[in-house]
Structure 1
């Protein structure tokens, strides 16, 4: 259950950008001391004068950080139109129509996460029906646990009978989640014990109940003095906890021989007889699979080289496997639980044109979530693999979150760039998908938005999908402000998703574009591999090709083109602005990685080695050094306006990356455009950020973007009426 490095839709889909300095504002950034420091890699000397900024707890670093934040506030708080932008951003992000996600069914009970402003965090509710939300009941509200709004629910897992639910709670964006078991009927804790740090920002966390709900397998990080401090975010193992007993008495189950950077996802079969453990080797996409059965023993089903990347229990005594062995876009295998060895597996669905992302067996059929270049579809086959057609879904949309109902009926989430996500019930008998009451309304009218699917040609000739959103009738004269985003890594795709802030951008006459770059999952493992390790430069070439298409086809021009990205997408922003500074008018880089030579010295950076590579390998060092944003900032360059954001509690990307990059760019640039750092002391990588903090960040981002591109905010002529309270 590790959150993707891309993080949340909030980071991936929300548009961002950067500012040209406002008139009359203090333009000079605080000075940064340089210290003589040289590291040598394979005979190559690399100067690192800002390495001292890595020490987050050093009072000198904190003083520097505070000075940068004060400089940023002096710039952003005086931007023209800021209060009007604040009003609109607040209005859009505080829209009271609720969003439901993470829906699960257990023993006839439906549980789901619900997000509804003005609540600062999402909360857990029990539903009596997906067609009537009037009788829903709040099971656990983090705001009641912590009125400050800084505690969040990481995930929840109900027992098979739906009577109890295990919930992971973490604070201030740390993702360090402790598990408490609650009674579903009363919402009260079942017992006093809390299982500590089942979830973490490095290896994530997971949990699977036994058949009768008396205990569960869970992911356990080292405790106390079991390991030295440097190892306590690693060596995740699987233990068993019996409800009502002290967690100190939990018993070891699996994982002593796992890699240091193992990440495990656990699942229980429908009848509770089996538990699976899918173990990842860091973030690079390698997995091995273990199975626990009635014998009480764990059996290894697959190794990393077998390329089984996913599994799901069927209703027919089988485990359905998603394999990429000799099938880069995936194929589905059926493995009888009675003989769980790969040589007994049979091919149910061979590799096809689409990339298979998920496999969901029901009573007599298998549902497949498939992707082609970004958008996804829901395809069906019977248990022998015979085609049964596609489930009706929105055009250019995303599908996910399948929940099995009676027989072959399912619930699934579906949303697009122009329609908020909703839950649909698909009737296998009628071949119809009906929208349920779990559907969010839009706070603005997107009916006049056109979704254009285009292809850019990268440096090596590869065709790169690009989705462009614009108002109908937008003139392609090169004068439109445009906002381009991308990610390109970790087998993650930016799929179509609704963002009210994209709506804000469009209602101001902007063009919004999403690039589906190599490194993602858009076209299977080959597409991913061509954007990872020593081939990472392909990602940046792909992004530049997409930016160039927007300019060449006169959607915009460089000085009116803003780009944004977060996490691995923040790295993309760093590479984009250092490789082609002339191409962009503004850059917003959120929680990004910029020093590729020292990222692996951080805990989560070691999990990233299987995706990025390591400086210990000569060829990988050469590739990392060639594109590392920090090491490619050039003195005397006229850089565009750049806004860097970071969270002090970020467990995935150390804030030192942003500090070092800001210091180096401020030193090097010869333009009057600001290089700003927005460092938040109360947040992390994005997960668990309270609503008010999100609003504050987006107000800063959009004020920055509008000013950078010379845009004047215009209040929208047409507003929708507020939704009825729920």
Structure 2
């Protein structure tokens, strides 16, 4: 499964169970080295901390506890921590609600809602997007689990909107069981529970049939069907008929899929067709299957066809997003009556922008596209004629399109200085209007400048960089700066509103976001140039962005902090080992650091199509060249680093952080701390309670402030932002 959760959720980990402030040891615990040598393609690689991979080992647990105690002894004493806690709590518990996934079915609108200070998002039914006061709570995980450890993975309504399938998982595992709710009564249907539909490795989903009597779903191996090592693999598609035991569900598809297959399911608007888009791990290869009224599955595309997405139309066609001979994407139209790729025609040819997705309305298509990070929506009619752009602000992200009737749509929009809100676009007058489903800002960002620039990477590639600063900030090299990035899995890093970036700016800081290769900001070529044996380009891109911030006198190395999560945690590990002199502090969240043994883990095997495998000689050579734990140098002066991990993480095994911390603590000649924040109750970030997020962010930001030598000063007027129009 793609390593996205940490980035999207800001790695929302629970607070550590630890000794009281100041009572832990002031020095990191000694870590035993045990001689282990692995051989890859005649190359011997020493691995003295391999013993730390055994999470259940008593010695590892003891080491972990000692590291946590050391971390707490340092973090709990940091100056300004309590005022910082107050401000972070104020920002993250701002009571303006946020609305996530908006879905329409049978004339009913459903939405995921987050309402601080409630710990978890919940599902609401909306009568109108203009009057949220009339919404009705359909499912609140806090009612099911007052401790706040249960979360909603996804929800899918029936075509008539009368039933809702919901996946629920616990403690960050992302291992979700599907239950069914009656929308009118808000009650769960008795006896309806389908286990292990969602997972942190291959994801999961459901697609209802036309009359809502059953659904196709993704099924992981159950019981003893597979050996324990295989139970997060071999995902297949089954059909569940309501009212029958799940043990009698019927097989539909997938026995011949790759071991690391991941399947997305979707129903057509009339419910007569179901699509299954099957990914070959995380590398960006897909094949498409269709199930039609005749009751059979037909394979429409293969991995080599480079069709990466699909969307049912209302006109008897399915629209395909293809990158065959079009690295930035093109849109194909394929009649459902003849579902063979040779019957497809090009509706929207490749252009300058990278096409990210397609939404089909009654008589037009909405094409979500981007160029370097910010996104926009272009419209075409069903003959492919350009109908112009949906009016949206510059340097913003737009998505989540859903029907507002006919060709009108609702869509989500957010920018670096404008919180997320839902808007309605009306075709008749071409106007966009904000709905009542809109967050307000907990702080005033009216004086924040958004600067789009480019850094030049080692090979001459221009890398987009967005810089936020308050108007009037002097470019004298003395500003504290915070730089983040991701660079992987064909994921575009688009503009988003971050209240904690606002906190940083309040303190006179500079905040920067890099659009690195490995994402899809400029299409498949941009992704390919940052994956497999070309992964080093990602780290060169990030370093180029860091250098630009220094060269343009936004900051200086000792005042430059960097942070990233998941694949972005790998980024942190790689750049700090390659250029330790370039950074003043690092926060690396739930990252991968041993790239030679990552594929031995469940999700690591899905990542092979993105990172490569040690079984291939050239890919092994590339992995070893940047693998963070293997490139730590004895005696080097490393900046202070805070590593985080979650014991239940289904995407990145916490052993990565343990091994990296042990290696860096033993190697560094600098006085700055190398800390591990290892949590026993959480995973990769999904489903973490709000209170837990606050605790981690207090740790992260107090660490950054202290290591950069910045004294936190509460704002003179600790007031919310002015009302937004």
Q: Secondary structure at the match of 1:296?
A: coil
SS of the residue 1:190 aligns to: strand
| Structure 1 CA distance for aligned equivalents of residues 186 and 3 of structure 2 | 29
Change (3 A) 1:12 1:30: closer
Matches within 5 A, 1:303-452: 303-452=302-451
Change (3 A) 1:179 1:394: same
SS in 1 for 2:103: strand
SS of equivalent residue, structure 2 residue 191: coil
Contact 1:5/1:652, CA 8 A, preserved across alignment: no
User: What's the offset of the Cα at 1:202?
Assistant: 0.3
Contact kept, 8 Å, 1:191 with 1:243, in 2: the verdict is no
Quote the offset at 1:484 in angstroms.
0.2
| In 1, Cα distance between equivalents of 2:432 and 2:283 | 36
> What CA distance in whole angstroms lies between the structure 1 residues aligned with 2:368 and 2:667?
47
Q: Secondary structure at the match of 2:719?
A: coil
Question: 1:627 aligns to what?
Answer: 626
Matched residue, 2:504 = 505
Aligned twin of 1:492: 491
Correspondences of 1:551-562 after superposition (within 5 Å)? 551-562=550-561
Corresponding residue for 2:18?
none
The CA deviation at 1:190 is 1.8
Instruction: Give runs of aligned pairs for residues 175-214 of structure 1, distance below 5 A.
Output: 175-214=174-213
Which residue of structure 2 aligns with residue 228 of structure 1?
A: 227
Structure 1, residues 502-550: CA drift from partner, whole Å, max 9, x if none? Answer: 0000000000000000000100000000000000000000000000000
C-alpha deviation, 1:9, in angstroms: 2.4
Residues 12 and 685, structure 2, Cα contact 8 Å, conserved in 1: no
CA contact (8 A) 2:2 2:282 kept: no
Partner of 2:428: helix, strand, or coil? coil
CA distance in 2, matches of 1:487, 1:328: 20
Equivalent positions of 1:461-500 (< 5 A) are 461-500=460-499
- In structure 1, the residue matched to 2:659 is 660
Inter-partner Cα distance in structure 2 for 1:25 and 1:599: 32
2:636 alignment partner in structure 1 = 637
Mapping 1:447-596, distance limit 5 Å: 447-596=446-595
- 1:24 is displaced (CA, Å) by 12
Cα distance change of structure 1 residues 673 and 45 upon mapping to structure 2, 3 Å threshold: same
CA–CA distance in structure 1, aligned partners of residues 176 and 722 of structure 2: 34
CA distance in 2, matches of 1:65, 1:643: 14
Normalised TM-score (structure 2): 0.97
Deviation at 1:11, TM superposition (A): 2.1
How far 1:718 moved relative to its partner? 2.6
Distance 2:602 2:184 in 1: 40
Q: Aligned partners of 2:411 and 2:404: how far apart in 1?
A: 11
Call closer, same or farther: CA 1:523–1:566 in 2, change over 3 Å: same
Partner of 2:81: 82
Question: Which residue of structure 2 aligns with residue 41 of structure 1?
Answer: 40
C-alpha separation in 1, matches of 2:365 and 2:333: 11
| Matched residue, 1:65 | 64
Question: Equivalences for 1:240-279 in 2 at 5 Å?
Answer: 240-279=239-278
| Distance in structure 1 (CA, Å) of the matches to 2:386 and 2:192 | 49
Cα drift, residue 682 of structure 1: 1.1
CA distance in 1, matches of 2:293, 2:466: 49
User: SS of the residue aligned with 2:189?
Assistant: coil
Match of 1:18 in 2: none
Which 4+ stretches in 1 moved above 4 angstroms? Answer: 22-27, 721-724
State the secondary structure of the residue aligned to 1:192: strand
SS in 2 for 1:57: coil
Deviation per CA, 1:526-579, whole angstroms, max 9, x where unpaired? 000000000000000000000000000000000000000000000000001000
How far did residue 159 of structure 1 move?
A: 0.1
Gap regions ≥5 residues in structure 1: 15-21
Secondary structure of 2:564's match?
strand
Please give the alpha-carbon distance, in whole angstroms, between the structure 1 residues aligned to 2:157 and 2:63: 46
What SS is found at the alignment partner of 1:204?
A: coil
Return the alpha-carbon distance in structure 1 between the equivalents of residues 293 and 594 of structure 2.
Answer: 49
Task: Using the TM superposition, give the Cα deviation of residue 268 of structure 1 relative to its aligned residue in structure 2, in angstroms.
Answer: 0.3
Deviations 1:30-52 (A, max 9, x none): 10000010000000000000000
User: Aligned partners of 2:3 and 2:372: how far apart in 1?
Assistant: 19
- CA drift of 1:7 comes to 4.0
SS of the residue aligned with 2:73? Answer: helix
Any conservation in 2 of the 1:420–1:439 contact (CA below 8 Å)?
yes
1:245 to partner: Cα distance: 1.2
1:414: Cα distance to partner?
0.2
CA contact 1:218–1:239 (8 Å) conserved in 2: yes
Equivalent positions of 1:645-656 (< 5 A) are 645-656=644-655
CA contact (8 A) 2:6 2:590 kept: no
Q: Give the secondary-structure state (helix, strand or coil) at the position aligned to 2:134.
A: coil
Secondary structure of 1:193's aligned partner: strand
Q: How many residues align?
A: 716
Change over 3 Å in CA distance of 1:376–1:692 after alignment to 2: same
Pairwise CA distance, 1:404: 1.5
Between the aligned partners of 1:402 and 1:635, the Cα distance in structure 2 is 52
Matched residue SS, 1:28 = coil
SS of alignment partner, residue 270 of structure 1 = coil
1:291–1:298 Cα contact (<8 Å) kept: yes
The equivalent residue for 1:112 is 111
For residues 463 and 721 of structure 2, the distance between their equivalents in structure 1, rounded to whole angstroms, comes to: 39
| Whole-Å separation in 1 of the counterparts to 2:532 and 2:12 | 25
Q: Once the 2 structures are TM-superposed, how far is the Cα of residue 191 of structure 1 from its aligned partner?
A: 2.5
1:650, CA displacement in angstroms? Answer: 0.2
> How far apart are residue 27 of structure 1 and its match?
4.2
1:670 paired with 2:663, answer: no
Map 1:676-687 to 2 at 5 A: 676-687=675-686
Is the partner of 1:702 in helix, strand or coil?
A: helix
After superposition, what is the alpha-carbon deviation per residue over 1:411-434, rounded to whole angstroms, capped at 9, x for unaligned?
A: 000000001010000001110110
Shift of 1:395: 1.6
Secondary structure, aligned partner of 1:194: strand
Give the aligned CA root-mean-square deviation in angstroms.
Answer: 1.5
Question: For the structure 1 residues 58 and 4, does the alpha-carbon distance in structure 2 shift closer, same or farther, using more than 3 Å as the test?
Answer: closer
Question: Shift of the alpha carbon at 1:719?
Answer: 3.2
Shift of 1:720: 3.1
Q: Cα–Cα, structure 1 residues 12 and 470, in superposed 2: closer, same or farther, change >3 Å?
A: farther
Q: CA deviation at 1:23?
A: 12
Name the structure 1 match of 2:288.
Answer: 289
Q: Is the 8 A contact 1:36 1:48 kept in 2?
A: yes
1:690 has 2:712 as partner: no
Per-residue CA shift, 1:6-26, capped at 9, x if unaligned?
Answer: 545232899xxxxxxx99996
Contact 1:191 1:244 in 2 (8 A): no
Question: Residues 653, 360 of structure 1: CA spacing in aligned structure 2 closer, same or farther, 3 A cutoff?
Answer: same
Equivalence for 1:712: 711
Aligned-residue offset at 1:405: 2.3
Distance in 1 (CA, whole Å) between partners of 2:342 and 2:239 is 30
| Aligned counterparts of 1:660 and 1:128: Cα–Cα separation in 2 | 52
Please, which runs of 5 or more residues in structure 2 have no aligned partner? 14-20
Contact 1:95 1:722 in 2 (8 A): no
